Chain A
Amino acid sequence: MRTLVTVVLVFLVIGCGSKPQAPLPEVTAFARPALPQGCEDPAWRSVPAHVAPLLLQDLVEPRQLVATTAAVTVQAVHDGSRVAFRLSWADPTHDDSPGAARFSDACAVQLPAVAGADLPAPQMGETGRPVEITAWRASWQASVDGRGDDMTALYPRAQVDHYPFTAPSLAPGSPEQEEMARRYAPARALGNPMEGPRSSPVEDLVADGPGTLRPAPRAMSTGSGRRTRDGWTVQLVRPLPAGVRPGQRGAVAFAVWDGSHEEAGARKMRTGWVPLAIGEGS
């Protein structure tokens, strides 16, 4: 039996053919005529990757003092106007459900708002020198993928008696009913959809220092994520960094949050600035 297994393994290894590609020393966005359709697009298989070791966020309180996610594998391609990053990382726990003590797995890509050799602080930028961030959350992905926002969607055995906005006098979906529902969802009423129904699993943000994160003036990114056998793979697509054209260089930073370790906000694993090469062509 052992011989048979060995023969099969040797056959599989030989059958795989090509040697695994060595990781790139920096993030390189290769030129392609079209961007991949999603994180599972086969086009990603031929794109060389950079493996970015993750550091503790130990600069500002609350600090991350226990190392969790070790590294994030980054691939990138561009089509001349947009750049797509694919982030993959190992995470044995699947955390995509919000709850009082449940935190979502998440990741983010950060770029300087203004291109140049003199980079802002990699830790969320600094006053007058902002950064642009594209963030993805697993819980947002679950919402986009169809999970409802009822309590029973989050806690299957929960029992809810009644909500004021489900009174028989309010026709479902009517303006009056929606107005009543907003009264009991103050963050949603203020246009701050941190959870609940979402049309996109990503959010565009800007910051000019720790604690200053805020929504970008306009949404410009798209993305999607999928749970893999041992972690997550996420594709994030955004315009090429301002002032950076094919053939030029820039910088990019990454962050990963592990929900099972109650990571959120400043409690995260992150990189410093990583050199970003925008390939010629396309």
Chain B
Amino acid sequence: MALVRNWQLGREMSYWYPEARPQRQFAAVFDINKCIACQTCTLACKTTWTSGKGQEYMLWNNVESKPYGFYPLAWDVKLLDMLGAQRWQGSRYAGRTLFEAAPAGERVLGWRPEDLDYAHPNIGEDDCAGRIDAGAALAVPHFAWFFYLARICNHCTYPACLASCPRGSIYKRPEDGIVLVDQGRCRGYRECVKACPYKKVFYNPSTGTSEKCIACYPKIEQGEQPQCFVNCIGKIRLAGFVSTPEQARPDNPIDYLVHVRKVALPLYPQLGLEPNVYYIPPVHVPLPYLEQMFGPGVSAALDTYRAAADDPDLAGLLTLFGCSHEVMPRWKRSGDTVLGLAENGRELMRVPLREPVYVRTAFDSARGVVRTNVP
């Protein structure tokens, strides 16, 4: 075990390998508030990558309805229960990570789902938290609530899948931090399936190897955002590259949201993997639940997000979500216009801070017709 720095925990932690950060780290921000669970991302991924034999059950991308939707069944609550109390002291995590809590003889604390755990994706999707009793009123946070959690591989800085593989079949690309399973080397032991807390490594019984989200690396290599990003109807996703806090750049859109404004937070940071998909938390959900899921920064993140309407920089950057098929590693706002830029400053996309509003009268005087057909 080595001692490595995990900035999401505010401390060092134990990991199987020494710290070796990539030249740049693939990352993403998902704005949960915009997700409508249409599953277009799920199908975009499915049809692109997992249409083969043995991949039928695989969802490298899935959207589940929290708190009771899961894929696979109970993936997060089961592990949280195994891990025990997870205490934060301010922004410093005082509990144990999955690596620090590994039982004797294991590299990572984990569990392996049964076949049937994959059989009913999002089986609890119709169940919201609590009952809607007589007299219930709409308030924020809601008395009864649910939200949609879109998930892909987090391409973690400290992947548990990589740490658990006894034969080094999983590697993290130095050029972009994408985590891949070497399909020529994997022997299907499924230590990675057991170790990944997000359950984003899947065993293919037809080929006998484990497979996972590849962040559409052929597209990333071409400067394009992955399939689940560009097909997102709700425009909730933005792909890019995240820096460490010390090297954060305000003109990097991911850095701006994660480090500068701290409005996007990692998923279950207490597990210790330093995941690189960041979420803008849902505004209508009680804080205790969100803090368990996204750490101690939730309250401040929500305050910032709620004030975005009066914050042209933050609101402007949020308009860049889903507006281009290209990765925009830089950005800037110029008045009422927001620009997505290439690394060298070349303009890739230009969007207005506010879309123009046109009000059409019910009667079209130019054509002499009523615009509605309602009597």
Contacts and interface: CB of A to CB of B under 8 A. Distances in A.
Given A187-B207, A192-B183, A264-B188, A65 B166 contact: no
Interface in B193-214: 193, 202-209, 211
Contact of A191 (B105, B164, B166, B184): B184
Q: How large, as a class, is the contact surface on chain A?
A: 35 or more
Interface in B77-134: 104-107, 112-115, 117-118
Interface residues of B, number: 41
B191 interface: yes
Contacts of A149: 53-54, 206
Contacts of B204: 185, 187, 195
Contact of A196 (B117, B118, B207): B207
A185 B53 contact: yes
A152 to B, nearest CB: 10
B51 interface: yes
A195 B205 contact: yes
A151 B56 CA distance: 8
B166 A211 contact: yes
A187 B166 contact: no
Nearest to A194: B208
A160 B56 contact: yes
B219 interface: no
Given A101-B113, A213-B167, A63 B208 contact: no
B184 A185 contact: no
B54 A62 contact: no
Nearest to A186: B183
A102 B205 contact: yes
B184 A192 contact: yes
Residue of B56, B105, B114, B189 ringed by the most chain A CB atoms within 10 A: B105
Contacts of B185: 192
A60 B209 CA distance: 22
B208 A190 contact: no
A151 B368 CA distance: 62
A266 interface: yes
Contacts of B50: 184
A213 B191 CA distance: 16
Nearest to A264: B189
Contact of B207 (A60, A63, A100, A188): A188
A62 B102 CA distance: 11
A193 B184 CA distance: 9
A210 interface: yes
A195 B52 contact: no
B187 interface: yes
Given A65-B105, A158-B56, A194-B209, A210 B184 contact: no
Interface of B: 50-57, 104-107, 112-115, 117-118, 164, 166-168, 183-191, 193, 202-209, 211
| 3 closest cross-chain pairs (CB), A and B | A184-B52, A194-B208, A195-B208
Given A195-B207, A266-B189, 8 more contacts: A61-B106, A62-B107, A155-B115, A164-B51, A186-B211, A187-B204, A190-B184, A267-B189
